Structure 1
Amino acid sequence: MKQINKQSTIALLVLLVMVVMGYTSCKKENEGAGGMPVISKVRVISKTDTIKDVDHRIDLDSNLVYDETRVVSFDSTVVAGRLNNQYAIIGENLMTTLSVSFNGVKVNFNPALLTDHSIIISIPEEVPYGAGQSDKLMVTTKFGTASFDFPILQPPATITSFSPVAAGAGEIVTLTGTIFEGVTAVNFDDTPAEIVGIPTKTQIQVKVPAGIVQAYIFVTTPGGTSRSAGSFGFRAVLYDDQFANGWGSYFGYNSTRDYANTQQVKRGTYAIKTVFTDSWGALQIGYNGATIDATKLTAVKLSIYGGPGTTGQAVQLLLNGNYGNAVRLELKEGEYTDFTVPLSALGSPSTITEFVLQSLGVPVSTTIYVDDIGFI
């Protein structure tokens, strides 16, 4: 009986040792080999890339062509990172990683993708970049911290808008956007523009160079050169503080027009104040012999300020008396709205002889202000 108990005790001890060894083995397998972490390199898995001249459909008859930023697959060792790109940190003893940071900001990582030799991360937008940063990638594990030189590059600037949409030589244009830090140049197509004052991260003011009628705006920063989605100015001007040559006889019906109005001016000195005296009144410019060749034009651009009570109201734009191809334009009370209407939506005229903004049943005495009318 004593012999049996002794054998049972030995068997129990052997079993316990095996369990402990198995647990230790699993623990080592789960935690890697242990030891101080080492970062040997960083590889990019996907990156943002600018695709040039992408065709963006507006409707069945019109489109805009401009650059587009997309995330694309990529695999290469890199010495610097960019926001919104995905990377693999390559090294040793990484299985027990507790945190990853760039320039002092911790970033998320997926533990399910963690191995003893790699960590998969994405660099979010809140990570600081550029001059004045530590330029350090830090990985902390259960066994220590590894540091690796890895600067975060400034992303390309984004131009979201510019105002005014048209201006003469020497006038000030304000560019609004993001990531304008360190701007070194602003060009209207290939023509340099003078930067005025001190730019901010979101705004740059420049003087319009001489000779610019129509151009894309380019901003150059340490992140590269970016282009505005839309173009500045007009290829043909109809009204720009004054009417173009030959369009000096002004007409309208069931409305009053003030061409020397200085209220609610979007740019310059004047805007056309129009008061509709019945529900189908109109601002009508043309029928005086002037013409604009539209064979190389694509759209009409204009800006309309809605007077009191105009929210939810609308006018219709038409050319050359073509009421069958009129386009509805929604008004906004107390602010200007910029409109770009494809000529294809207005009947695709080859020659412009008349421009009309007609009320669409708005109440009598409704007031609008119209500025910067032209064609691109």
Structure 2
Amino acid sequence: MKIKILKNIMLILAVAMLIGISSCRKYNSLGFAPGTGAPTITSVHTYYKMDTANVTSTITTYNSSGNASTTTVVRSGQPHAFDSITRAGNLGDYYLIEGANLGSATAITFNGFSAYFNRAMITDHSILVQIPSKTPYYGPHATDSLVVTTLYGKAYYKFSIIPPPPTVSSLSDFNFRAGSQIMLTGVGFASVTSVGLTGTNAACTIISQTDSTMTLQFPSTNVSQVNLVFTYSAGTATSTQELVDVDNAYQIFTDNYQNGWGSWSWGPASPSAKVVKSGTASFSAQFGANSWWIDGFRQGGGGATDGVPFTNGYNYLSFWVFGGSVDETVYIEFGNAGFANSKPGNFINAIDVPPGIWTYYKIPVSSLLWNTSAANWSANSAALLNTVAFFMPGNTVTETLYFDDVILIK
């Protein structure tokens, strides 16, 4: 009986030892024993920074015959190690939290937002963590707080999230006039304090702003094209999108015919207030089903002395189009000819016009073929531009398209 009791005691002890060993392995497998005291954070360090210099690499490869070929690759924005104490961090970047008794960490939050962390990147004195991209950085939730929670308490540290640079993803218009308004959609607008324009000292007026939207009113300028320059809490940022000052462009149609231009259209076409992109009217043009119609604009009588000279240095033809009932291919007639509706002659300068939405086009003049030739306006620089029209040969239903802000841009 005593032997049986002794065996049971030994079995219980063996099981207890296994449980103890397995519970230790929970942490010892990481190579350290976590401290059991209250956690503390003493500092936060940058882990790397982006090198703005270009790095050139030459790669040599050999084919099956042993012949070598080299390729040169230029890379920019490469990360490299960089250790610096900081009290502010960027969304998406990695940072090293240093302190004591951090090894049993169960949660990390920035401004109350949980951050994922890999236990393989923890010691009892440090944690490598990435700031989540959705961490609050403005408003009441931006509490400038970093909290590490362990099995033995919480450590608090004052740490700010740097607002991302204002970034525009879309605009309600690419054209502006003095006094007109454009709404921007994107991220990082909440911390913007002013918006300037490249190439001029004129500035926009901020009408309204949230972090994801901003409405601007534009000033009068003396430039053709501008980028937006945002001043915000962490510096300045310039938009990648170019905007056009219509007041400084050569206008063919804006609310009405301009500069001696009028309708040159085979179908019903005229200014209309039915569908408008900006201002009070667009140019409504009807294209009959299976009719191969050309609708558009002509300056003066379309004679040899009518039109715009090449020497004025216009770089782009730009316009908005509101599409019809189905996706259509439209050909731009650009030059000073009569443009009989022929194939293949008129099947040049093709654009795709999607149905039922406004689409913006900004086409380099150098890429537009002149009349029905294989050359551009530069090759015909002595000629005057007096016809800008649109040819639709493929529509099987009658379509009405609306054109707005038809301009030439320097």
| 2:63 match | none
- Cα distance, 1:364 vs structure 2: 5.5
Partner of 1:317: 332
**Partner amino acid for 2:353?**
L
Q: Separation in 1 of the partners of 2:236 and 2:52?
A: 11
Letter in 2 for 1:146: A
Distance 1:92 1:230, change over 3 A: same
Match of 2:279?
Answer: 268
Q: Is the 8 A contact 2:287 2:294 kept in 1?
A: yes
Question: What is the letter of the counterpart of residue 217 of structure 2?
Answer: K
TM-score, normalised relative to structure 2 = 0.72
User: 1:42 aligns to what?
Assistant: 44
Distance 1:332 1:324, change over 3 A: closer
Task: Kindly state the Cα deviation for residue 39 of structure 1 after the two structures are TM-superposed.
Answer: 1.8
Name which of 101, 108, 114 aligns with 2:109: 101
Cα distance in 1 between the residues matched to 2:311 and 2:114: 56
Alignment partner of 1:152: what SS? strand
Q: TM-score when scaled to structure 1?
A: 0.78
Question: What SS does the corresponding residue of 2:330 show, helix, strand or coil?
Answer: strand
- Change in Cα spacing, 1:123 to 1:279, as seen in structure 2 (3 Å) is farther
Letter paired with 1:358: F
Instruction: Classify 1:47/1:127 alpha carbon distance in 2 versus 1 (closer, same or farther; 3 Å).
Output: farther
Confirm whether residue 91 of structure 1 aligns to residue 96 of structure 2. no
1:292 and 1:270 mapped to 2: Cα distance? Answer: 27
What is the match of residue 255 of structure 2?
241
One-letter identity of the residue aligned with 1:349: W
What's the C-alpha RMSD, in Å, of the aligned pairs?
3.7
* Distance in 1 separating the partners of 2:408 and 2:46: 45
Q: Pick one of 334, 352, 363 that aligns with 1:330.
A: 352
Q: Secondary structure at the match of 2:120?
A: helix
Q: Deviations over 1:139-184 (max 9, x none)?
A: 1122222111111121111112323322321222222222211321
1:200-229 per-position Cα deviation (integer Å, ceiling 9, x unaligned)? 223222222113542112232224333232
How far has the Cα of 1:108 moved from its partner?
A: 0.4
Of 106, 115, 118, the match for 1:110? 118
1:230 paired residue among 234, 241, 246 = 241
Q: Partners of 1:90 and 1:296 in 2: how far apart?
A: 61
The separation in 2 between residues aligned to 1:227 and 1:236, in whole angstroms, is 23
Match among 189, 210, 218 for residue 220 of structure 2: 210
Match of 2:401 in 1: 368
Q: Distance in 1 between matches of 2:295 and 2:208?
A: 41
Distance 2:47 2:204 in 1: 40
1:75 counterpart (66, 82, 101): 82
Instruction: Report the alpha carbon displacement of residue 362 of structure 1 after superposing the two structures with TM.
Output: 1.1
One of 190, 198, 213 as aligned partner of 2:208:
198
The residue that corresponds to 1:186 in the other structure is: 195
Structure 1 residue aligned with 2:377: 349
Task: Call closer, same or farther: CA 1:228–1:38 in 2, change over 3 Å.
Answer: same
Deviation at 1:44, TM superposition (A): 2.2
- Give the Cα separation in 2 of the matches to 1:176 and 1:214: 20
1:64-100 per-residue CA deviation (whole Å, 9 max, x = no partner) reads xxxxx97844523222011111212122322211111
Structure 2: distance between partners of 1:201 and 1:140: 30
TM superposition shift of 1:25: 8.0
Q: AA paired with 1:176?
A: T
- Counterpart-to-counterpart distance in 2, 1:50 and 1:197: 35
Task: Give the secondary structure class of the aligned counterpart of 1:264.
Answer: coil
Residue 255 (str. 1) matches residue 267 (str. 2): yes
Aligned residues: 347
**Structure 2 SS opposite 1:112:** helix
SS in 1 for 2:355: coil
Q: Contact 2:295–2:391 (CA<8 Å) still a contact in 1?
A: yes
Alpha carbons of 1:327 and 1:179: their partners in 2 closer, same or farther (altered >3 Å)? same
Match of 1:279 in 2: 291
Distance 1:183 1:243 in 2: 38
User: Are residue 165 (structure 1) and residue 174 (structure 2) matched?
Assistant: yes
Q: Which residue of 1 aligns with 2:361?
A: 339
What stretches of structure 2 of length at least 5 have no aligned partner?
A: 54-75, 340-344, 370-375
Report the counterpart of residue 321 of structure 2 in structure 1: 304
* Maintained 8 Å contact 1:303/1:338: yes
Is the contact between residue 155 and residue 179 of structure 1 (CA under 8 Å) also seen in structure 2? yes
> What CA distance in whole angstroms lies between the structure 2 residues aligned with 1:248 and 1:317?
17
Which segment is superposed worse, 318-327 or 168-177? 318-327
